[in-house]
Chains A and B, each alone.
Chain A
Amino acid sequence: MTPLSDVNAVINKGDVVTVIGPSGTGKSTMLRCVNRLEAPTQGVVSVFGQDMGAGDTDVAAIRQRMGMVFQSFNLFPHLTVAENVALAPIELKGKERRNAYAHAVELLKMVGLGEKALSYPDELSGGQKQRVAIARTLAMNPDIILFDEPTSALDPTMVGEVLSVIRELVREGMTMVIVTHEMRFAQDVSSRVFYMDQGVIYEEGTPDEIFKSPKRDRTRRFIKRVNAMEWTFETPDYDFIAVNVALRNFGEKHQLSTQRITAMRRAFEELMAQNTIPQLGQSFSLTMTVEHSSETDELVMAFDWPGDRYDPFAEGDEIAIALVRRVMKTEAFDYTDGRNRLTIGL
C-alpha cells in the first residue's frame, strides 16, 4: 500500500470523479480508505455525513449504500452469476427472492449478460466478469459507486464493453469515483479529475483543465505521457561515464533510435563537458533534464544553472558547436534572474 499524506477533497452528490496518475501513487489506497477497506492512521473520511472511523458508525450499513467494483472482479466463484447479483439484496435487505432475482435478471440484461444468469463466474471472459460485478454492485441500489481500476485486468479488446456500461451509469447521474488509466475515458466522463502523485492529490480540475492545460510539471508529463530523466552536477569531477550510460539506458528504455541516443550523448559532451562546465569553477549546481513524449515522439534536453551569463552557442568552441548543430532540430538560450537555461530539441 502506498502511504497517503495530506489528501483533502470533497465529492458532492452527482459528481463523477476520475482519479488518474502513475502507478503506486496511492490512488487505490485513497479509494479503499473511503469505504474503510483500509483504515487511515490519521484524518477523517466522512461519507453521508458520518465519520467512517468513528466507533459508533455502522460501516456495514454505509457500505450497503456505497458499492465498489474491483480491478480483479472478486466475483463469488461458488455462486452462479444470478446468485452473485441477488445474494446481497436477499441477505442484507431482506428482499423477497423472486423480486431480487427479477431485479438481477433486469440488471444482467442491462449489462448485456441476460443469458449468462446460470453460468458460473469462471465460465465468463474478463469483460463479462467485470460487467457482472457492476450488476452485483447495482443490485443494492447504491448512492455511490467506487471503481478501482475496473479495466486494468482486462484484455484491450474487452475494455470497451466495461467502459460503455460505466458510461451508461454516468448518463443516469450516479455519483462515482473512478480510478483509471484510460485517459480518453476519464476526459469524456468526468466532472472532475484528480491527478495523484506521491501520495497526494497533486492537481485537481475539470477534464479540460487537467488534460488540455495542466498547470504543474508532473501533471503535464503524465498527460503527455512524457518520460523524463534528471541529473544534477555539482563538481567538475562528476562521473562522465555514468552520465553516458544513463543517457544510453534512457534512450534504450524508451526505444529511441541509435542516432538519437548518439545525438543526446554528443550534445551533452560538446555543450556541457567541453564548454560550459569548465567555466563554472569548483562548486556549482547544473541540472540536466531529458524528456521524451511517447505521444509526440519529441525528445528535449534542457540544462539549467545559475551564475554569470554563458551561452555556449555564442561563446563556445566553434568545432564543438558545429558538431552538435548537425544532430539537433531546435535550440533556445535564455538568461533571466541570474539563471542560464539552454533547451535543445533532438
Chain B
Amino acid sequence: MKKRLGGLCVCILLLMFLCASMAALTAHGVLAASSTVQSDAAADEEIAAMAGKRFGVITGTTFDKYTQKMISNPVISYYQTYADMAVALEQNKIDGFLMDQPAGRVLLQSHSALKMIVSDKYHESYAFVMPKTTESDALRSKLDAFIIQCRRDGTLDKLDKIWFGDDENLKKLDDPKTLPAKNGTLELAVSALAVPFSYVKNNQVVGFDMDLMTRFCKKYGYGISIKTYTGAPNIIAAVTGGKGDIGIGCVTVTEERKEKVIFCEPDYYGGVVVIVRSEGKAAVQGGLASSFYKTFVQEDLWQLILEGLGNTLLISLLSAVFGTLLGLCLLKRGKNRPLSLISAAFIRFIQGIPAVVILMVLFYVVFANVEVSGIVVAVIGFSINFSVYVAEIIRNGIEAVDAGQWEASEALGFRKVKTFMKIIAPQALAFILPVYKGEFIAMVKMTSVVGYIAINDLTKVTDIIRSRTFEALFPLVSAALIYFLLTWALIKLLDLVELKTNPRKRSLKALDETLKAAARSGYEKPRPACRRGTRPSSASST
C-alpha cells in the first residue's frame, strides 16, 4: 500500500513538472536577452566607487590580481565557473566580478539583470602555450608566423566576427579526424569551458582558438587529438606535465606563466571588464522549459550528458571490479610478517589521502610521461582507493564470524582453506555486503572529481553545460537527479546480489527431495573395518 502511494507521488510530481515545462515553453520560447554595455570616463568613476565591495574570482585565474589592481580593498571569494558567479551576483552574494570582454558579452546574453562596465585601462593578451622543450621550437616558429600572417590578412577579424556573432550556423568546424595528418598528430590540451575560444558544441570542441588551430593544421598537414580540461591552470599543468604539445583556450599571458611554459604569438587582445548588477532590472528567470531546452536540447547537449553518464558508470564499475580484486590481495597477508606490515601501511597511507589527490598525482606525476587515457588513470586511482576500504570491510566481515565456527569445522577435519570456503565465507558475506554496498555508492559519487584529470564525467559535463549556457540551476538539478537514479539502480542491483547470496533465502526444495529420496533408499552402512573389532558387523540394513 505504501509502495503504491509512493509511486503515485512520483507520478504526480512528474506530471506537475511536465505541465510547467509545457506552459513555460509556449509562453517564453527561447529567451533572447539584450546586453548592456557602457564605456567611457564614467566607467572609471563607477569602478572607483566599488571600493571595498565583494568580488568573485574564478579559482586559479589572474583575475584575483586584476581585482586587487582595479578595485581598492575588494573582499574576494572564489568560484569555479562564471555561471556560478553570475548567479551569485544576481542573488546579491557578491557585488561584481571581472572577466574578459568577449566572454562577458556571451554571459550577458543569458543574464539580463547584469551589465558590463568597460574600462580602456586594462588590456590583456591571450595565446597558445607550449612546453619548454627544444622539440617544440620548430613548431612554435611555424605557429607564430601563421598567427602573424592571419592577423595581417584579416583572418583573425573574420574569426572574431564568426565566434562572437549571433549566427550559430557559422559556428562550426571540420571534424578533426578529417584533417590530413601528413606531418603527424598534435596533442591538444584544450579548455572546454572557455566560451567562445574553445568549448563543446554538438559533442565537438569548437571556438575561436580551435578554428585558428584547425586552419593551421590544414595548412601545415597536422592531425589533432584533443583532451579537454577546465580552465587555464589545468591546461598549463597538462602542458608542463607532458600531456599536450599545445595548450589552447583563452590562456592569458602573464610573467609567472612564462616561467613554466612558452607563449606563442598572441591571437587575441582583449580587455578586462567588470560585471555588476544592473540597477532596476530584476532577474528574469527563463522558466523551466527554457532551462530544459538550453541544457538538453540546444546543441544536442543531451548527448554530452549521456557521454558523461557512460564515463561515470564505466569508471565506477571497473574500479569496483579491480578494487575488489586488489582488496582481496591486500587481505591475504596472514603469517608473512613483512608483507602484512607493507599491506597495513599501504592501507593506512591510501586511507589518509583524498581520492582526488591520488588521482591528480597519478595523472600529473606518475603517468606524466606515459601515453595513457584519463579513464584508465581514473580506474587505477579509484581501484586503489576502493581496494583499501574493501580490504578493511572484508577483514572485519571475516572477523565478525564467531571463532567457534573455525574450531567446529577444523575439529570435524576440514582444512583451513575448505573451512574458509564452506563455512566462514558464506557467513562473512552477510556482514560484508551491506557495508560494501555503502562504500560502493560512496565511490560512485566520489568519481565526480575525475573532471580534474580531463575526463568528461557526469559532473564535468554539467559543468561544461553550465559554462556554455550560463544556466546554473537546471544542469545541477539534473546532475543530482541522474546521480540519484544511478546510485538507486546500483543499490537495487546489489540488493539482489545480497538476496541471492543469503543462504537463508534460498529454496530448500531440492534438499527436501534429496532427503525424501534418501529416506526411501535408507542408509547403507560402511563396512566396519577399523571400528571396534570386538563388535560383530550388523551387516547392511535397508
List chain A positions with a Cβ less than 8 A from chain B.
13-14, 35, 37, 60-61, 63-64, 67-68, 70, 72, 74-80, 82-83, 87-88, 91-92, 97-99, 101-106, 117-118, 120, 133, 136-137, 140-141, 143, 173
Contact = CB atoms under 8 A, between A and B. Distances in A.
A70 B407 contact: yes
Contacts of A98: 514, 517-518, 521
B413 A83 contact: no
A99 B524 contact: yes
B427 A77 contact: yes
Contacts, number: 104
Contacts of A82: 511, 515
Contacts of B407: 37, 70, 74
A88 B517 contact: no
A53 B415 CA distance: 16
Interface stretch (B125-133, B191-199, B363-371, B527-535): B527-535
B46 to A, nearest CB: 76
B504 interface: yes
B514 A80 contact: no
Interface residues of B, number: 38
A120 to B, nearest CB: 7
A114 B7 CA distance: 47
B413 A88 contact: yes
Query: Which of A35, A70, A91 has the largest count of B CB atoms less than 10 A from its CB?
Result: A91
B413 A74 contact: no
11 contacts: A37-B411, A60-B415, A78-B504, A87-B422, A88-B413, A102-B524, A103-B523, A104-B518, A105-B518, A141-B531, A143-B532
A52 to B, nearest CB: 13
Contact of B515 (A76, A79, A101, A143): A101
Query: Which of A83, A92, A101, A104 has the largest count of B CB atoms less than 10 A from its CB?
Result: A101
Given A64-B412, A77-B427, A105 B515 contact: yes
A98 B526 CA distance: 14
Given A78-B426, A83-B511, A92 B412 contact: yes
A151 B517 CA distance: 34
A146 B168 CA distance: 88
B404 A102 contact: no
A91 B531 CA distance: 21
B535 A173 contact: yes
Contacts of B409: 76
Contacts of B430: 78
B157 interface: no
A120 B518 CA distance: 20
Contacts of A141: 526, 531
Nearest to B425: A78
B522 interface: yes
